[in-house]
Amino acid sequence: MEMKNMKVSLSGVELQNPVIPASGCFGFGYGMAEYYDIDILGSISFKGTTREARFGNPLPRVAECAAGLINSVGLQNPGIDEVIAEELPKMRKVFHQPIIANISGFSIDEYVECCEKIDKEEQVAIIELNVSCPNVHGGGMAFGTCASSVGEVVKEVKKVASKPLYVKLSPNVTDIVAIGNAAVEAGADGLCLINTLLGMRIDIKTRRPVVANRMGGFSGPAVFPIAVRMVNQVAHACGVPVIGCGGVSSAEDVVEMMMAGATAVEVGAANLVNPYACKEIVENLPDVMNRLGIHALSEIIGIV
């Protein structure tokens, strides 16, 4: 079988393949490195990081569903300074590909401070701005559901960040293209979508919500068709590279997401079900490409 070209480029950052574990589903990588050589991955989007350390939301914070799961972890992380001092060096010992830093915040000031710090770290290649968190300066609304809020935070972060900036979009909106365009007009170099949908489960025996926070982010195979649709809309309308995410669990899913318009693809909940999910996808991609007559993955980006 001929060697398949799986290389892709995100705003000048070359990846050996398009497979990226999604933020929050792979930690900082080194835990997974005990199971397989994670250097086979295209990149890793590390755990969502905020200014202060966060313990996260009360337990229980995960609910199983028929074709996915609901999580309300609440951005548990050690804080930006600890990530830079401790986590990145540990990550670098086992992972030598480009790293994506997922940055979150509860105010524009926090986003700017965290991005300014992480931008100085040479091992970080791309900043992924998670705008799906509550905006405490705006009455508890999520940044990512309002085009003007997205534009404002991106504009301020671009003043301090030299690395490519990818904005991770919330699907909990009526018009994903409007939000994507707002991010791009404010200076975003690329977009990542989708983040989780808002979901809820109720324990009918206890008559209480399964998750202590009542509701949480719904992810897994059930959201894949929604993600493909949104990626396709945004890729055609917004004119920047897109990282596709949401329910991806096979090499075929990666190809479908790329045909929809994604340049690279993040794998989230599948890692929680099968720790080898990303490894298997990378290994299976050449066979799928061969079966479909694809010589280079770059050929199929946005062909639909």
Q: Which residues are catalytic?
A: 133
Residues 6 or more apart whose Cβ sits within 8 Å of residue 37: none
Q: Alpha carbon of 256 to those of 126, 143, 250, 263: distances in Å? A: 24, 29, 10, 11
> Cis bond leading into 221, ω under 30°?
no
Task: Label residue 160 exposed, middle or buried (CB < 10 Å: 0-12, 13-18, 19+).
Answer: middle
Helix or strand (DSSP H, E) at 231: helix 224-238
Among candidate residues 161, 152, 151, 91, the one with its CA nearest the CA of residue 128: 161
Among candidate residues 51, 70, 53, 52, the one with its CA nearest the CA of residue 61: 70
* Residues comprising the chain, all counted: 304
How far is the C-alpha of 219 from the C-alpha of 20, rounded, in Å? Answer: 16
CA atoms within 13 A on the CB side of 184: 17
How far is the C-alpha of 4 from the C-alpha of 254, rounded, in Å? Answer: 15
Contact by Cβ (8 Å): 251, 285? yes
